[in-house]
Amino acid sequence: MKKVLTILLAFCSLQPGISQTDTIPKTQFTIMYLPVWQEAAWHCLEVAKAMPEDLYSYKPTEISKTFGEQMVHIAAATKLLTQRYVQGLEVKPNTPDASKMTKEEILGLLQASLTYTKGVVQTIEQVQLDETCKMYHSGNTVSRAFALFYVQDHMANHRAKSNLYLRMNGIDPPEYTW
């Protein structure tokens, strides 16, 4: 355990958005998961920052979300999925209207949501992680620990779409560093 903590602290000192004063997670799983979440969150923010504000309303097809809507969806869904599946809270979707938000406001919403999930990763207890939950869309029953992967996968799906929006506008997406 001491070796894992030493590695985590070394990694945290190199990672944007993580400092040695951050709360160290309470479980072996979350100690290993936190750097993965931090990298995914950092990369998502970098994608959001890469798109110029005047292109936040860009969408490749009539039925697609705009880039801003993709980012707001990531923010709203990340918090919702964390609350619903990882924490077991009764919550309903509450997605703000991206068309009424500035890039700065969307980045703030995204940062707050990603930080919220980070806080859950840092504070959740093993007993909670071992509990199960039923996934709304699939009906599958999974552990709350597994649900963290679902939250990350959902973010990665919409981040990947957003990368394409960047490329369609001649903007190179931020380099994936893992």
Per-residue pLDDT tens digits for 67-94: 999 999 999 999 999 999 999 999 999 9
Q: pLDDT band at 114, cuts 50/70/90?
A: very high
pLDDT in tens, 127-148: 999 999 999 889 999 999 999 9
- Flag whether pLDDT at 11 surpasses 60: no
CA distance 85 to 161: 24
- Flag whether pLDDT at 21 surpasses 60: no
Instruction: Give the number of C-alpha atoms closer than 13 A to the C-alpha of residue 155, restricted to the C-beta side.
Output: 30
What would the CATH number be for the domain defined by 2-168?
A: 1.20.120.450
Q: What average pLDDT does range 152-176 have in this prediction?
A: 96
SS3 133: strand
CA distance 63 to 138: 24
The answer to whether 134 touches 35, Cβ cutoff 8 Å, is no
Query: In the chain, what are the domain boundaries?
Result: 2-168
- 26 Cβ contact list (under 8 Å, min separation 6): 122, 123, 124, 125, 126
**Percent of the chain whose pLDDT exceeds 70:** 87
- Flag whether pLDDT at 5 surpasses 60: no
- What does the mean pLDDT of the chain come to? 90
Q: pLDDT band at 7, cuts 50/70/90?
A: very low
Say how many C-beta atoms besides its own lie within 10 A of residue 13's C-beta.
10
The answer to whether 123 touches 148, Cβ cutoff 8 Å, is no
**Percent of the chain whose pLDDT exceeds 90:** 84
C-alpha distances in angstroms, 70 versus 65, 75, 102, 154? 6, 9, 14, 11
According to the model, what pLDDT value does residue 23 have? Answer: 85
According to the model, what pLDDT value does residue 108 have? Answer: 98
According to the model, what pLDDT value does residue 178 have? Answer: 66
Q: DSSP secondary-structure letter at 174?
A: P
The answer to whether 35 touches 22, Cβ cutoff 8 Å, is no
According to the model, what pLDDT value does residue 18 have? Answer: 47
CA distance 25 to 7: 13
| Pairing mode of beta strands 132-134, 141-143 | antiparallel
